[in-house]
Chain A
């Protein structure tokens, strides 16, 4: 491997990280929106959000990505590859994330909601001050797993010729013929990114727990 090839791969890694962050931001928004909608009092809201989840969990992220990239332009919307990738990953992983949000909201004891009612908090205040602060630390470990899955999913974008890590690796392989070396290196690069992501998420989890007085319980790993 020569210097220019390393530059190529590092540039690709940077695009991969960007793609992951954009998709994660979209997925988080979707996860909270849909997750909250699924606990709505209105059946129609629960039903529609349920359809969303089943749809995006039922389909393949890669097929969705191709559809957004190839089929949508025929309907008159041309999406740049990066945005087709972001949209497909964000919408899919948002559906998985919404299940995490819903589960965590439901894990907060009903008595907490009742205590908040007894203090005359509005529904929005109940959610923001009482339920969410207790639910968010519960979400962190499964969110970490999803973020790793999302990172792995970014490799799919290479098939739309987005210049992320896997795509640049293909170029590097074509120019050097060193398949084992190139793919070995980028596998390690993905692993390092995943490692960093996990560390950051653990840190955020500890922070979230400390802010709700669970610091003493945070030790000893989470299951």
Chain B
């Protein structure tokens, strides 16, 4: 990828703006002929809880996948904490980053998936401790202590010795939240975390997330169809349509008095 005009304006090693944690600059992502994100710009400040809403296929999940480096942008740059995510600076120029750089930046980011994606070959405790031990280099005792604290937070202390298949969907998702938090990420990505759950299990998972939003200073980026939850926890809501942010603002504004007709239509369809 060549450094286009938008990149040349970027100063080398910019001072982190204090509050700005995530920055998308002219990010474009295509799947074949389909442009999912179209020169997208947006920023998220440290400690904020941001919810992405919009019709399906509007590119919300792609944003999370780009941040998690599960996909790479076709154009543009993403920075987390001032560090380029999929680029490196070499000799004052931006080049696509090697695996090592990506892995280093990735450690600041955690993700909870729609389908939980717990490792079925590991018991609950090991699902949570495996990465802290083998990626962060914690001792087994430290990791286990951390895991016990998190299991208490998500209300699953007594299930530490079970395999994921022995838990309900809601319990699995709470383990997945604990697993992501055990890495102490700066940013937590939540990708439709309640969509795969039976209705009666949704509340338990959302309660845990509300707790986390209230009691930690972790930055949360959340794709959800649970509008009441979005209203509760969000500092900002971004409305997506066709690969662009068409409107953003605090939840009271977006949910009660949106500026865009498109937002109004979307909300009346889902609420």
Q: A213-B165, A216-B165 are in contact. Are A121 and B117 (CB under 8 A)?
A: no
Bitwise interface map of B from 118 to 158 toward A, beta carbon under 8 Å scored 1, else 0: 11111100000011001100000000000000000000000
Q: How many A residues face the partner with a CB closer than 8 A? A: 23
Nearest-neighbour CB distance to chain B for A93, whole angstroms, equals 27
Q: Which residues of A contact B68 (CB under 8 A)?
A: 114, 117-118
Bitwise interface map of B from 82 to 117 toward A, beta carbon under 8 Å scored 1, else 0: 000000000000000001000100110111010101
Q: Compute how far the CA of A48 lies from the CA of B117 in the bound complex, rounded to whole angstroms.
A: 33
Is A122 a contact partner of B103 (Cβ separation < 8 A)? Answer: yes
Is B134 a contact partner of A117 (Cβ separation < 8 A)? Answer: no
Q: B164 at interface (Cβ–Cβ under 8 A)?
A: yes
Q: A213-B164, A213-B165 are in contact. Are A121 and B120 (CB under 8 A)?
A: no
Q: Which residues of B contact A7 (CB under 8 A)?
A: none
Which single residue of chain A is at the shortest CB-CB distance from B189?
Answer: A118
The residue from B69, B123, B180, B183 contacting A117, defined by CB atoms under 8 A apart: B69
Q: B269 at interface (Cβ–Cβ under 8 A)?
A: no
Is A129 a contact partner of B120 (Cβ separation < 8 A)? Answer: no
8 Å CB contacts to B: which residues of A114-135? 114-123, 125, 129-130, 133-134
Q: Which residues of A contact B111 (CB under 8 A)?
A: 118
Q: Which residues of B contact A121 (CB under 8 A)?
A: 131, 134-135
Q: Which residues of A contact B134 (CB under 8 A)?
A: 121, 125, 129
The residue from A119, A122, A214 contacting B120, defined by CB atoms under 8 A apart: A214
Is B70 a contact partner of A117 (Cβ separation < 8 A)? Answer: yes
Q: A211 at interface (Cβ–Cβ under 8 A)?
A: yes
Which single residue of chain A is at the shortest CB-CB distance from B111?
Answer: A118
Q: Compute how far the CA of A211 lies from the CA of B163 in the bound complex, rounded to whole angstroms.
A: 10
Is B120 a contact partner of A115 (Cβ separation < 8 A)? Answer: no
Q: Which residues of B contact A109 (CB under 8 A)?
A: 117
Q: A179 at interface (Cβ–Cβ under 8 A)?
A: no
Is B183 a contact partner of A130 (Cβ separation < 8 A)? Answer: no
The residue from A114, A119, A122, A134 contacting B130, defined by CB atoms under 8 A apart: A119
Q: A25 at interface (Cβ–Cβ under 8 A)?
A: no
Q: A112 at interface (Cβ–Cβ under 8 A)?
A: yes
Q: Which residues of B contact A211 (CB under 8 A)?
A: 121
Q: Compute how far the CA of A39 lies from the CA of B87 in the bound complex, rounded to whole angstroms.
A: 26
The dominant DSSP class at the A interface is: helix
Q: Compute how far the CA of A115 lies from the CA of B122 in the bound complex, rounded to whole angstroms.
A: 13
Q: A119-B130, A119-B179, A120-B131 are in contact. Are A114 and B121 (CB under 8 A)?
A: no
Is B183 a contact partner of A213 (Cβ separation < 8 A)? Answer: no
Q: Compute how far the CA of A211 lies from the CA of B113 in the bound complex, rounded to whole angstroms.
A: 25
Nearest-neighbour CB distance to chain B for A85, whole angstroms, equals 37
Nearest-neighbour CB distance to chain A for B181, whole angstroms, equals 11
Q: Compute how far the CA of A134 lies from the CA of B130 in the bound complex, rounded to whole angstroms.
A: 16
Q: A111 at interface (Cβ–Cβ under 8 A)?
A: yes
Q: A125-B134, A130-B119, A216-B165 are in contact. Are A118 and B107 (CB under 8 A)?
A: no
Is B183 a contact partner of A120 (Cβ separation < 8 A)? Answer: yes
Q: Which residues of A contact B107 (CB under 8 A)?
A: 120
Q: Compute how far the CA of A111 lies from the CA of B103 in the bound complex, rounded to whole angstroms.
A: 18
Give the residue among A129, A130, A213, A214 with the most B Cβ atoms within 10 A. Answer: A213
Q: Compute how far the CA of A216 lies from the CA of B180 in the bound complex, rounded to whole angstroms.
A: 28
Q: Which residues of A contact B121 (CB under 8 A)?
A: 130, 133-134, 211-213
Give 10 CB contacts A-B under 8 Å: A117-B68, A118-B68, A118-B110, A119-B131, A119-B183, A120-B135, A125-B135, A211-B121, A212-B121, A213-B122
